[in-house]
């Protein structure tokens, strides 16, 4: 665990990583002055922790100097209760559909998840449902080859629902445990593109009503709390059951996990910490808060 924590910690962006250290350095006297509190408040907002968490931390910290990161930790633990997603495949095959805006990290997460579940001994199939860009198909095929995971690629002229249908047919025929569908990036404001997702789900549910379909939203950690609006709209289109937050390496807005969870109450299954297949971590509140509040 120490290794994982160190990796998370060393990879979190300076702005976020330094939060704990900065909190320590603000307070020098025995009492916390109004100015100290203002400085702390600015720091917490700067990390994108959001209003609810900032208020809760300020309240917990109070006016006496004490072990500040510990005082800040308790309210964050409370706000993040229930946020750890623990993926399990209950009735194989199951479908995991990755959704999100352009460039949020869906294709990379699809590959990383394929690697993760394969390592766990699951039989994984990838489905390339990004039919907008030929390059997207190539990108996922390359990953599949590198990881030794089977893939159903998109064909010219086919739509996302057709690829998903072919992929799930293949998953059932080949006795797979998990089908991971990569989808095209789409702005949550483009209704006709969102419709494509509704169709994809409808087509699968119609043919395989008993097969569970999970929708995970892939959010770019750099975007901070902008992810909130995306989550809301995607959720109303394609019911979501979880989140993956990517690019937390180098993000100065790593605190955004807190308001995103509070607003969506969707479990966070994994966080992305880099571009390689191993740079995906199951989300752990403890590990996250250690990294966030460590000195």
Ligand X SMILES: Nc1nc2c(ncn2[C@@H]2O[C@H](COP(=O)(O)OP(=O)(O)OP(=O)(O)O)[C@@H](O)[C@H]2O)c(=O)[nH]1
What residues line the site for ligand X (CB under 6 A)?
A: 100, 102-108, 130, 136, 184-185, 246-247, 249-250, 272-275, 279
Considering the complex, state which of residue 7 and residue 73 has its C-beta at the smaller distance from ligand X: 7
Residue 183 near Mg ion by CB under 5 A: no
DSSP class of 276: S
Separation CA 288–CA 36 (nearest Å): 25
Binding window for Mg ion (CB under 5 A); candidates: 130-138, 161-169, 230-238, 282-290:
130-138
Beta pairing, strands 242-246 & 213-220: parallel
Residue 163: both structure tokens together: 């690829």
Contact 26, 36 (CB under 8 A): yes
CB-based closest residue to Mg ion: 107
- Which of Mg ion, ligand X, none does residue 267 bind to, with CB < 5 to 8 Å depending on kind? none
Query: Could you give the CA distance from residue 94 to residue 88 in angstroms, rounded to a whole number?
Result: 10
Partner that binds at residue 189, options Mg ion, ligand X, none, CB closer than 5 to 8 Å by kind: none
107 binds Mg ion, rule: CB under 5 A: yes
The smaller minimum CB distance to ligand X, of residues 102 and 169, is found at 102
Distance in Å, CB of 198 to Mg ion, minimum: 19
| Residue, CB closest to ligand X | 185
- The count of other CB atoms within 10 Å of the CB of residue 37 is 16
Among Mg ion, ligand X, none, residue 227 binds (CB under 5-8 Å by kind): none
Taking the CA of residue 105 as centre, how many other CA atoms within 13 Å lie in the half-sphere pointing to its CB? 28
- Beta strands per DSSP E along the chain: 94-99, 124-129, 150-152, 178-183, 213-220, 242-246, 268-272, 280-282
Per CB under 5 A, residues contacting Mg ion are 106-107, 136
């Amino acid at each position: 665990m120490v290794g994982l924590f160190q990796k998370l910690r060393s990879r979190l962006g300076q702005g976020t990583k330094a939060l704990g250290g900065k909190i320590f350095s603000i307070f020098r006297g025995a009492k916390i002055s109004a100015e100290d509190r203002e400085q702390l408040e600015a720091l917490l907002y700067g990390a994108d922790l959001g209003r609810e968490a900032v208020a809760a931390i300020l309240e917990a910290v109070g006016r006496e100097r004490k072990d500040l990161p510990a005082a800040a930790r308790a309210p964050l633990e409370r706000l993040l209760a229930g946020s750890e997603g623990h993926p399990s495949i209950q009735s194989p095959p199951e479908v995991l559909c990755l959704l999100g805006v352009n460039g949020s990290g869906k294709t990379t997460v699809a590959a990383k998840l394929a690697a993760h579940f394969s390592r766990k001994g699951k039989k994984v199939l990838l489905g390339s449902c990004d039919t907008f860009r030929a390059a997207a198909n190539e990108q996922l095929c390359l990953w599949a080859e590198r990881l030794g995971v089977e893939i159903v690629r998109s064909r010219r002229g086919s739509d996302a629902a057709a690829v998903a249908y072919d992929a799930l047919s293949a998953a059932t025929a080949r006795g797979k445990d998990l089908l991971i569908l990569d989808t095209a990036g789409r702005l949550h404001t483009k209704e006709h593109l969102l419709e494509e997702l509704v169709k994809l789900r409808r087509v699968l549910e119609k043919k395989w009503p008993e097969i569970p379909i999970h929708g995970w939203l892939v959010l770019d950690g750099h975007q901070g709390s902008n992810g909130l609006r995306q989550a809301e709209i995607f959720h109303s289109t394609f019911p979501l059951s979880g989140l993956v937050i990517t690019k937390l390496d180098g993000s100065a807005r790593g605190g955004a996990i807190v308001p995103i969870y509070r607003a969506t109450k969707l479990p966070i299954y994994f966080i992305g910490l880099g571009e390689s297949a191993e740079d995906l971590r199951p989300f752990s509140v403890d590990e996250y808060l250690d990294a966030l509040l460590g000195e």
